[in-house]
Amino acid sequence: MNAPAQVMLTRGLLAEVAEQFGYPVPEELATALGQVPRHHFLPETVWVRDGQGGYRPINRSTDPGEWMAAAYADQTLVTQFTDGLPTSSASMPSMVLRMLQLTKVTAPDGSRQQPFSVMELGTGTGFNAALLCALLGQGAVTTVEVDAVLAEQGERNLKAAGYVPTVVQGDAARGYPGSAPFARVLATFSVDQIPLAWIAQTAPGGRIVTPWTSAWCCYGTLALTVSASGAAEGRFHDFASFMPMRPSSEQDTANGAAAQAIAAEEAKSATELSPWAVAGGDLDAEFHLGLTVPGAFFSWDTTGEHAPVRLCVEDTTSTSWATVDYDGANSTEFTVTQAGPRQLWNEIAVAYASWEKSGRPDVDRHGLTVRADGRHSLWLDSPDRPLVDDRVLPPG
């Protein structure tokens, strides 16, 4: 592709990103995006949503125009499948740039910060690492990738683009002590707990930014500041949905265990809480439930085998399960069935009522403190207002 064509495509992408932001892309980020052509970091085949819940491939050789248009569109592109599931992707450029803004690798006016080191966790295609190199200099960047194939490919992509940061093939949960301490740690995948290694490898006053996930809801981005005592504290932010750090085997175990628990004693009741209120796409409510009802996850059954619509709730930590049935006519009362050591629907109802009582707080009002011993404490508005009687997550 010639230079004028690339400039035009980059301008179009910047316009899309600015529309997402609601303001012009800061000059330093726009310059970095112009220096790092996205298409150089994509494989011959990428996959996009097909509009029917799946993905369709776009091949550079057979569909060069569509492939290039996809490369410079503000959309997520799947770049790797494993066992039929997407396991690596090129994130939306607007999301990438928002993460860089939140990480504070540039000043509020877009100018470059003083030189400091940054550890990226999840190299993937190498695109984000290249942006960091363009912003900070390649000597300041360490990037860690658990997948050996992706690490090798990412390093090749970076070298082809003229960047030679430190590329490490290893477990991102362990970070990379060889280049620590870092002023910034940035993950490109979601987690439900902060590994202590990340905090230990971040300099006091440094910043950790990572997408967040829970069994209930994969959404939100967490930004933490590390203290000299080895603790970290910060708020969640209302954007981003990223693939998890590693596939969860717990959910498969819970599915099987819950199926076995069906024969256990069942408790039936009725509820006025609509299943759509807690699992119908209200991300503020679902994010709150993910924090306050740990381990619970849901699926919808619309086959009509048991009810016209059924919400199925299960637990990654036990054999507990619950179902909430809509009979197709009554939208003010629903039939609940529960079994197992946890009364999952009761927990969800209590957590949802607490969310409403607190004024239906959005994602940004939630925060997290990671203590020096690894205990994770969730809070609302400020650390002195703990969530659900100071529910504490176990250390990772």
Q: Identify the helix (H) or strand (E) that includes residue 131.
A: helix 127-136
Phi then psi for 39, rounded to 5 degrees? Answer: -65, -20
- As a whole number of angstroms, the distance between CA 379 and CA 358 comes to 12
For 211, the token pair is 């997408």
- Spatial separation of the C-alpha atoms in residues 288 and 272, rounded to whole Å: 20
Q: Which of 88, 89, 91, 320 is catalytic?
A: 91
Ranges assigned E (strand) in the chain: 45-49, 55-59, 77-82, 85-90, 118-121, 141-145, 166-169, 182-187, 202-211, 221-226, 232-237, 267-271, 296-301, 309-315, 321-326, 334-339, 366-370, 376-380, 392-393
Whole-angstrom distance, CA of residue 148 vs CA of residue 130: 19
Residue given tokens 């693939």 in the structure block: 243
How open is the CA angle 168-174-177, to the nearest 5 degrees?
A: 65
Q: Which two tokens stand for residue 85?
A: 């599931």
Radius of gyration of the chain from Cα atoms? 22
Instruction: Specify whether 111 is catalytic.
Output: no
CA pair distance 352, 358, nearest whole angstrom: 10
Q: What strand order describes the sheet that includes 221-226?
A: 166-169, 141-145, 118-121, 182-187, 202-211, 221-226, 232-237, 366-370, 376-380, 392-393
* CB burial readout 281-312, b (16+ within 10 A) else e: ebbbbbbbbbbbbbbbbbeeeeeeeebebbbb
Tokens of 355: 């969310």
Distance CA 8, CA 222 (A): 34
Active site amino acids = 91
